[in-house]
A and B are shown apart, each in its own frame.
Chain A
């Protein structure tokens, strides 16, 4: 990965949507324990819609791809998930606006802005049993690795570990907080979705790199 263009970003989005669609039932089951059991259904539909809307954009800049995804998630999904996953993409837009090709440093800024935006919108910190538990370690791991392939892999691992760490936690945000201690032992579906996103991105870049060599 030397530089990322719009075609790569579209493919990354498709990879995320595909991974989440494959995990639809798993996410529904996780949400059934902590929420109303439809997270997989709603987020897989929302990413599928985002992919379709992005595909309709004529010759988009990277920032337009991210903006359309944000709007599609926010307005297509609704709920706290729509607001938070929409914010994740929306806050990244400013970091890449005006750029046709993105380098690793741009992606560092993109993810940092996304993380800050999600934390501010949801008023959540690490340990609250939310998507932040997967997103923050992933963003930090990504930035800590200069080599892009290492960075994607480290981010995916950090997100997966972060998502798994939510099992032991008592929720302090979102509707799961009303479960109190009864939520212990259940993994947060939002954090799991973040882990699936970063796993999908890591797989995509691994395939791209292998394809080229």
Chain B
């Protein structure tokens, strides 16, 4: 654990504020930074619509600051690196986002995100803010077996929830309907990630775990949490042949289904590799009789400079396809 990575930062304790200042300076037409350090839509949505809030650790950019904007989140409460924000800050985010029709707090399932969101909702109760709810979201099949889905982690596949829920909350829907929609997308989504490398914590500069050059980990979490286990590194085709079947079996995705596909870059995988991987994904899905409605390939939720990817599938119906195609304008998530 002695290897260090040099990152171009200033003081480690200023990583978060320096990053948010830079982000909002660059994309001020979309998102701005409040005095409380919240990333909030520059142009708020119309009153009378359900607001969406997410608190999460940083270090996963462009998630989630890049997902604040029309058709997406109203407020992101960015915590320190890989550290969920505390309850007071989440409460501030809820208040800032509220447009009079309720606030849904999205939780990508990790212990810190869940505990702090629960405490924030208790603070809401104490303050008499009644129209606030939270939804627990997860997608990573490696983190708990089938039948114990609520124990699973939230990873890159929540991409689908953010986009469709964001679109849904631009419409005239109530808080309960928004929560139900989030759960519907969650329950249609499955993900599995892998990595060929470790990455370094920007706070300590230390590499987070050892990864021999010729090995890979299947089931890597968004913070370098371990998954199903180590094995010899394979080629692109063999890697997809290993990862896709358990994803398909888990939901299960079946012949005749229509899906969205995300190949999320964990950090330093090349687009070249991702296109080569996607070629095999497309072949295998065609073989299984599953049609692809749309695909996305790129770095949407990263783990610093980790060389890996997550494969996520979301089964869609007409409602979800319409929500997918609805406009969105976050700094790093755009749908025309």
Contacts and interface: CB of A to CB of B under 8 A. Distances in A.
A80 B115 contact: yes
B310 interface: no
Given A83-B116, A175-B225, A78 B111 contact: no
Interface stretch (A10-18, A28-36, A107-115): A28-36
Contact of A178 (B57, B80, B143): B143
Contacts of A192: none
Contacts of B203: 37-38, 41-42
A77 interface: yes
Given A42-B83, A178-B227, A75 B111 contact: no
A182 B204 contact: no
A121 interface: yes
Contacts of B118: 121
B224 interface: yes
B264 interface: no
Nearest to B13: A45
B84 to A, nearest CB: 5
Contacts of A178: 143, 153, 219, 221, 225-227
Given A32-B1, A37-B204, A84-B115, A79 B79 contact: yes
Query: How many interface residues does chain B have, given as a range?
Result: 35 or more
A44 to B, nearest CB: 12
Contacts of B201: 36-38
A160 B77 CA distance: 36
Interface in B198-226: 201, 203-204, 206, 208-209, 219, 221, 223-226
A45 B203 CA distance: 12
B208 A74 contact: no
Interface in B80-125: 80-89, 110-112, 115-116, 118-119
B336 to A, nearest CB: 36
A78 B1 contact: no
Contacts of B143: 178
Nearest to B59: A36
B208 A75 contact: no
Contacts of B206: 28, 32, 37
Contacts of B225: 175, 178-179
A87 B111 CA distance: 14
A80 B208 contact: no
A80 B85 CA distance: 9
Most chain A CB atoms below 10 A, which of B115, B223, B225: B115
A127 interface: no
5 contacts: A37-B208, A38-B201, A45-B13, A78-B85, A78-B86
Interface of A: 28-29, 32-33, 36-38, 41-42, 45, 71, 74-84, 86-87, 121-122, 173-175, 178-180, 182
